[in-house]
A = this chain, B = another copy of it.
Amino acid sequence: MSHSCQQHKQQIEEALDIATRICEQHGARLTDVRKRVFELIWVSDQPAKAYGLLTELQKNDPSAKPPTIYRALDFLLELGLIHKLHRLNAYVRCTHPEEKKPCFFLICTNCQVVTESHDQAYKKLIAKISKSRDFKLHATTFEMEGLCQQCV
- Chain A residues close to B by CB (< 8 Å): 86-87, 104, 106, 109, 115, 117, 119, 121-122, 124-126, 128-130, 133-149, 152
Contacts and interface: CB of A to CB of B under 8 A. Distances in A.
Give how many copies assemble into the complex. Answer: 2
Contacts of A128: 121
Nearest to A134: B149
Contacts of A109: 138
A130 B144 contact: yes
Contact of A125 (B106, B119, B145): B119
Which of A125, A133, A135, A137 has the most chain B CB atoms closer than 10 A to its own CB? A135
Contacts of A87: 86, 139, 141
A124 B121 CA distance: 10
Contacts of A152: 134, 136
Nearest to A142: B142
Nearest to A102: B144
Given A139-B144, A141-B143, 20 more contacts: A86-B87, A87-B139, A106-B129, A117-B129, A119-B125, A121-B121, A121-B124, A121-B125, A126-B144, A129-B144, A134-B148, A134-B152, A135-B148, A137-B144, A137-B145, A138-B146, A139-B145, A140-B145, A141-B142, A142-B143
